[in-house]
Amino acid sequence: MSAYEALVTKQGEMSGIIAKLADEGRGPTDEEKGRLAALKSDIEKINADFAQRGRKAFLSGIKTGEPREELVLKSNQSFADHFKGTYPSELEGLNLGLFVRGIATGEWSGADMERKATLSSIASAGGFLIPEPLANRVIDLARNKSYVVQAGAGTIPMTSSTLSIARVMTDPTPGWFAENATITETDMTFGRLQFSANKMACLVRVANELMEDAANVQTIVENTIASAIALELDRVALLGTGVGQPLGIVNGSDINTVPAVGTIANYDEFLDAIFACRGYNYSPNAAMYSPTTGKKLAKLVTGLASDETKLVPPADFTNMQRFVTKQLGDTVAVVGQWDQYLIGLRSQIRLEISREADTAFLKDQSLIRAVWRGDGMPINGRAFAVLSGIS
């Protein structure tokens, strides 16, 4: 068994014990405490080995077959790499632009492998399915463009339509005791996060002449679809309702709030948000706000009479990453420790292309449909603060 497989197995066993305790509404027995402690120790040793040897060595020896779940990918880790070994290696070098151009125009020069891939990519309803390695690469492109992921949000692959992960709701309370004194027992309480695969889709219509003539067709298709997915991921991670779509920070439970900010005159409200999170032992690493709010912050001056010197922001503000995004309205800003937001992704994005669907054949066009399934939600709401009422 590889180190990776051992990690997933032990994480799965620990999650199973914690989920059982959450379902039964009780603390662990002595036997369960011992097993949880042993699993925690083993997982820490494997993670330490991972950090020392690197991802390539850590993943070595994995058998091909079904992709693994329950491993949270950081922003700098590849979603496509997670599924390597589950499809033929020769498919890893395919180019999505060449694949789409070949289907749309019949021009396959320099795209022999892409042409061969079409033989196994015919969709049941007509058109072509994009091979899995290409689809997973689009996911990585979208993740790279997403501000939420850049800020630190984790990604967990979902190999089924639902995924449950356990979380600790309250920690045990340590204390100091005299020699031979009875140690007071304290219990951890557990909860569960349930991810369900909601569907997001987009439909792109492209003139076949553009496919024939554009020199950058190799990248324009990938980047256009990835950018659209990234923008929507950011929007729902910030503002999602949780009904038929991921739950966003603004609508999450237990989120810290800084209400009725009003006119921005200084950085005080941002400091209130930062320290609200710190009050629960979280360390905000990034803030997100609209271009309008960003402009107001950039124009702040000292406030002294006739003094137009720009106001120097405090270190607690500048030490965070700042992301300016149109996906937030002008009245809201969000501060938080972003590794406490988790995005669940189904094993691949489904991309299809057709020259016959709808009116594409009559107009000499190609229709490209992208379907993404997944979910997202804050792991711990107290890691975030929402500033509202910005005027």
Residue-wise pLDDT for 310-356, tens only, equals 999 999 999 999 999 999 989 999 999 999 999 988 766 777 788 88
- pLDDT of res. 71: 64
pLDDT band (50, 70, 90) for residue 304? confident
Predicted local confidence at residue 63, as pLDDT: 40
Tokens in use for 252? 């999450």
- Compute CA distances 291 → 253, 314, 327, 328, 369, whole Å: 26, 20, 10, 9, 31
Q: How is residue 161 annotated by DSSP? A: S
**How do residues 266-285 score in pLDDT, each as one tens digit?**
999 999 999 999 999 999 99
Q: What is the pLDDT of residue 127?
A: 61
Confidence of residue 69 (pLDDT cuts 50, 70, 90): very low
Q: What is the mean pLDDT of residues 18-36?
A: 82
Residues 4 and 111: their CA atoms lie apart, in Å, by 35
- The per-type count for the chain, helices as H runs and strands as E runs, is 13, 13
Q: How confident is the model at residue 122 (pLDDT cuts 50, 70, 90)?
A: low
Please indicate, yes or no, whether the overall pTM of this predicted structure exceeds 0.85: no
The CATH class of 256-341+380-387 is alpha beta
Domain boundaries, the chain: 68-240+348-373, 256-341+380-387
Judge contact between 364 and 209, C-beta under 8 A: yes
Highest mean pLDDT among 42-46, 104-108, 123-127, 277-281: 277-281
Instruction: Look at strands 256-258 and 384-387 and give their pairing.
Output: parallel
Among 48-57, 197-206, 308-317, the range scoring the smallest mean pLDDT is 48-57
> Does position 160 have pLDDT exceeding 70, yes or no?
yes
Mean pLDDT of the chain: 81
H-only helix segments in 119-201: 132-145, 147-150
Give ∠ CA 328-156-133 in degrees, rounded to 5: 100
Asked whether the beta carbons of 139 and 80 are under 8 A apart, the reply is yes
90, 192 contact by CB (below 8 A)? no
Cβ-proximal residues to 62 (8 Å cutoff; 6+ apart), any chain: 2, 4, 5, 68, 85
Q: What angle do CA 229, 153, 341 make, to 5 degrees?
A: 105
